Chains A and B, each alone.
Chain A
Amino acid sequence: MTISSVDNKARSKAIRVLRRKFGELAKNIVEGRKPVLILPKRVLSNTIYDVRRKLLLLGPEMQKRNLLDVNEARKFMQTLLMASIIYDALINNEYPTIRDLYYRGKHTIIFRDQKGRLHHENTWDEQRESDAVIRDIEVYLGLLREEMLILSKEKGKVVGNLVIRSGNDIIDLSRMGHGAYSIEPTPDLIEFKDVDAEYVLVVEKDAVFQQLHRYGFWKKQKAILITSAGQPDRATRRFVRRLNEELKLPVYILSDSDPYGWYIYSVFKIGSITLSYESERLATPNAKFIGVMMTDVFGSDIIRDKISRIRVRDVETITPRKLKSLPPKKPYLSERERRNFIIKAKPKDVERAVELVGYEVADACLDNKEMRDRIRRKKEGLSGYPWFRTPPWIRELCIFFKTLAKLEIEAMASKGLKFLADEYIPSKIETGDWID
């Protein structure tokens, strides 16, 4: 087995950091001080949206994890246990996945309680628990999991005129046949050798990616075509970021026209709440949302009567005047196509949309009385994410609330792959019909 030198460097660095940080803990204990871990607080309230840089970042709050506090003792144990497993894998030249780490650390603790009853307790029960501990260790050590050579499942795929070096191999991403290159879990170890492309198109849906690939979209358009196959994993996000940052390629995101699709775009662009400590490396602030927009489906006229009722106070105050000054848009779909392609939004979709943009917008735009009552009951006063409270997004979400309709990218392909690949995408890029 040949191990690339980049791997080895990462490995010895991680080993060093682990020994230093936990050596300090051991020293504190031996000197009779409290067994405490101090690490950044990884919760929503300590997640900050940096308006200027347009990034979700981890705030300055720290938390203590004290073994002597019965509420923290279990987490304390889990943190040390996970650290030791990661350490063990590092010195044995292994590349564990987060699932491996879960299994390696999972065992029972057998003890008798104060009443003498025998108990069996698992070190962790579900992988969700051990995954959270991995995130804690990342912030505690200031090391990302990739830097500790922890692998995650490969989900992202890429094709295009791009030549890379991965490990000791040179790979030409334009020669993948009908398949594609799986973005490796440690994208920082990839080296870009050669590129001949004008932009990056990220497609949420794997099926649409495959259709576009076979159609020859990336060749025609000189694009690098990527799919995240749903919620993007870290490797895909990091890879996209590097394409934008290092190769200066514009990045366009194409997702379903529904709250989940829009959130996926925002994860690419500004980061996610659970991984906010990594946004600085994973987010692509320049990424643009190309579609599918609600205005692509319905046009902008449909909510003309609503605009005057919307008023949002946030980082910036958004007045009806600001909304009216947005360029008007005509729909890409005819009335008949709309009827065939759109799907009725479910209450859960509507609630998620309120979480994105805030209650005032929903209240102003919802025509359906039943839904409006439901939202008032469950979400009244909710303020939404700042990065969705911009005039273009408010217009999009307002149409969603009014029509209670959503649309999958596949619908655009149903209108004709030719339409999607040769008309819709190119013309949107050409005319700058995106949201930044």
Chain B
Amino acid sequence: MASEVVVGEQYRAISPAEFFYKYREIAGFSNPARALYQTIRELVENALDATDAHNILPDIKIVIRRADEVNPYYKIVVEDNGIGIPPHIVPEAFGRVLFSSKYVLRQTRGMFGLGAKVAILYGQITTGRPVEIVTSQPGLKRIYYFKLRIDINKNQPVILEKGSYRKNREWHGTIVSVTVEGDWSKAKSRIKEYIMRTAVVTPYANIVFISPEDEIIYYKRTINKLPRPPREVKPHPYGIDLEVLKRLISSGKYTTIYDLLTKSFQSIGDVTARTLLERAGIDPSHEPAKLREDKLLELTNVMKQYEKYRPPTSLALSPLGEEVIIAGLKRIYQPEFVEAITRRPAAYEGHPFIVEVGIAYGGRTPISTDRYPTLLRYANKIPLLYDEGSDVTTRIVKEEINWDNYLVKLPAPIVVLVHLCSTKIPFKGVGKESIADVDVIHKEIKLAILEVARRLRNYLSKKMKEEERRKKLISIIKYIPDITNSLAVILRGDSIPREKIVEKLVEIISLKLEVPKNEVYDMLKKVEIGV
């Protein structure tokens, strides 16, 4: 038997594109159903980031079509009315992995803008079909058109076709079409759930979804208010590590270490910078590039341990806001009760975060399980659909809150929405579908839920009292017709007319039960004597 003798391992660098292709499971492309779902997600999230983060009320259109009669290929087209992409950037933006506008410190839906490219890669490998992009920016006179593929080995875009044509109406935005191998029947319910949950937190967006069966789902915009867009901010020193420090130094922008500290971090001013350097035993005027590694390490440690910083700024965050949450829950559930709260910013390990909670009750809110309310979890406006069991929120609503105390008798028509926004979400595991149990975050989420739950309890308690009162009322009023008829029969020909007795009884009941007379009359009108 002939066999090759392996003399030594061959080491070679692989391109990021190749890497992501090989490890596509990490990015959520483990099977055709999951891939279809993940593709939709990546494109929709890019579409939303291109609109609401730039003060544009989003109009998003999502179309999934069967793209081949034999193979299970699906063409996914996502259209937005966002800021568009400069035409010269398009090939890089879609054709080179790790090229992204998202390498800055602010809250965005995707962290690295990787997802769309993995989707393109996945589509290219499974169907061989290229990605198509149509885009234009506000103010441009032309619409640009590209057909691309990625050269996996070289991690380079290959332009198959490109062109442009004049705009004949004012349009800006991006249309991306990707064809992937998928499993629609398996992915269907997840995708619809994802779009619905996205619609909950984007009441300011028109979202149209057309399925392969030509089912059209339309979520109409209900408010014109957008969440505050995130701003770019400098990193907070709590989050420092040696690598970050080295990268800053290698930028060569700073002549002294003092300069570097005060100009590239938030919460470090003159006094703080001097204190830090003194503790690390470094002269403020020292040239950063000439610092020895052990000094840098010393500085990193000092910076991490310093306790008097101002907390990190939350300007980089874009919470939904109470108004948006309420409008969103109303749009989907038409609840009888809805309230929301946006907590004040807090921080963990130097990362600012904000917790928001909304509760919808009644109306068309679906009935929960008998163990805890239906949960809608979001991280940076992205719905989290999987791994609910291991999420910190699940633990709180299931184990730490006794819903009976809030007059919620499970199962009940109740939805609890929890949104965590942060420049760094502490995800649990690589799936990025559940949030880890970080003490401060845990506490914030719990406080937020309890606060809104208290408002729900007040509402339900009022409602119960009102119901009790009306129940009492009807249990008397329903007998009035029989009673007055009977008296009329016995007292026929007497001087007291039936109407007089009805009138007086209504008066007595209204007085005793403290209900307005007209309400008593209204109820009485609805009582009938049957056979």
Interface residues of chain A, those whose CB is within 8 Å of chain B, are 18-19, 22-23, 25-27, 29-30, 32, 34-35, 67-68, 70, 73-74, 76-77, 80-81, 83-84, 87-88, 107-115, 120-121, 123
What 9 A-B pairs have minimum CB-CB distances, sorted nearest first?
A108-B530, A84-B486, A77-B479, A114-B470, A80-B486, A84-B489, A110-B528, A111-B478, A111-B527
Q: Contact between B482 and A68 (Cβ–Cβ < 8 Å)?
A: no
Q: For the complex formed, measure the closest distance between the CB of B101 and the CB atoms of chain A, giving whole angstroms.
A: 54
A-B contact pairs, 23 of them (CB 8 A): A19-B491, A22-B487, A23-B491, A26-B491, A26-B494, A29-B508, A30-B504, A35-B505, A68-B508, A68-B509, A68-B513, A73-B479, A77-B483, A80-B486, A84-B489, A87-B490, A88-B489, A107-B529, A108-B531, A109-B530, A111-B527, A111-B528, A112-B526
Please give, as numbers and ranges, the residues of chain B lying within 8 Å of A22 by CB-CB distance.
Answer: 487, 490-491
Q: Contact between B491 and A76 (Cβ–Cβ < 8 Å)?
A: no
Q: Contact between A120 and B530 (Cβ–Cβ < 8 Å)?
A: yes
Find the A residue at minimum CB distance from B478. A111
Q: For the complex formed, measure the closest distance between the CB of A79 and the CB atoms of chain B, giving whole angstroms.
A: 9
- With an 8 A cutoff between CB atoms, is B22 at the interface? no
- Across chains A and B, the number of contacting residue pairs, with CB separation under 8 Å, is 108
- The verdict on A30 contacting B501 (CB below 8 Å), with A77-B479, A110-B530 known, is yes
Q: Contact between B531 and A26 (Cβ–Cβ < 8 Å)?
A: no
Please give, as numbers and ranges, the residues of chain A lying within 8 Å of B475 by CB-CB distance.
Answer: 70, 73
- With an 8 A cutoff between CB atoms, is B388 at the interface? no
- With an 8 A cutoff between CB atoms, is B512 at the interface? yes
Considering only residues 474-531 of chain B, those with a C-beta below 8 Å from chain A are: 474-479, 481-483, 485-487, 489-491, 494, 496, 500-501, 504-505, 507-509, 512-513, 526-531
Q: Contact between A111 and B487 (Cβ–Cβ < 8 Å)?
A: no
Find the B residue at minimum CB distance from A27. B496
- With an 8 A cutoff between CB atoms, is B471 at the interface? yes
CA distance A22 to B489 in the complex (A): 11
Q: Contact between A74 and B479 (Cβ–Cβ < 8 Å)?
A: yes
Please give, as numbers and ranges, the residues of chain A lying within 8 Å of B476 by CB-CB distance.
Answer: 67-68, 70, 73
Q: Contact between A113 and B471 (Cβ–Cβ < 8 Å)?
A: yes
- With an 8 A cutoff between CB atoms, is B467 at the interface? yes
Q: For the complex formed, measure the closest distance between the CB of B9 and the CB atoms of chain A, giving whole angstroms.
A: 74
Q: Contact between B474 and A25 (Cβ–Cβ < 8 Å)?
A: no
Q: For the complex formed, measure the closest distance between the CB of B473 and the CB atoms of chain A, giving whole angstroms.
A: 8
- With an 8 A cutoff between CB atoms, is B472 at the interface? yes
Find the B residue at minimum CB distance from A72. B476
CA distance A25 to B512 in the complex (A): 18
CA distance A26 to B496 in the complex (A): 8
- The verdict on A30 contacting B500 (CB below 8 Å), with A76-B483, A109-B482, A109-B527 known, is yes
Q: Which of A113, A114, A123 is in CB contact (< 8 Å) with B482? A: A123
Q: Which of A35, A81, A120 is in CB contact (< 8 Å) with B508? A: A35
Q: For the complex formed, measure the closest distance between the CB of A125 and the CB atoms of chain B, giving whole angstroms.
A: 14
A sample of 15 more A-B contacts (CB under 8 A), given A22-B487, A30-B501, A111-B526, is A19-B490, A22-B490, A22-B491, A29-B508, A30-B500, A32-B504, A35-B483, A80-B482, A83-B486, A87-B489, A87-B490, A107-B530, A111-B477, A113-B471, A114-B473
Please give, as numbers and ranges, the residues of chain A lying within 8 Å of B500 by CB-CB distance.
Answer: 30
Find the B residue at minimum CB distance from A73. B476
- The verdict on A109 contacting B509 (CB below 8 Å), with A30-B500, A77-B482, A81-B486 known, is no
Considering only residues 442-479 of chain B, those with a C-beta below 8 Å from chain A are: 467, 470-479
Please give, as numbers and ranges, the residues of chain A lying within 8 Å of B507 by CB-CB distance.
Answer: 32
Please give, as numbers and ranges, the residues of chain A lying within 8 Å of B470 by CB-CB distance.
Answer: 114
Find the B residue at minimum CB distance from A18. B490
Q: For the complex formed, measure the closest distance between the CB of A397 and the CB atoms of chain B, giving whole angstroms.
A: 47
Find the B residue at minimum CB distance from A34. B508
Please give, as numbers and ranges, the residues of chain A lying within 8 Å of B531 by CB-CB distance.
Answer: 107-108
Please give, as numbers and ranges, the residues of chain B lying within 8 Å of A84 by CB-CB distance.
Answer: 485-487, 489-490
CA distance A19 to B492 in the complex (A): 9
Q: Which of A22, A29, A76 has the most CB of B within 10 A?
A: A29
Find the A residue at minimum CB distance from B475. A70
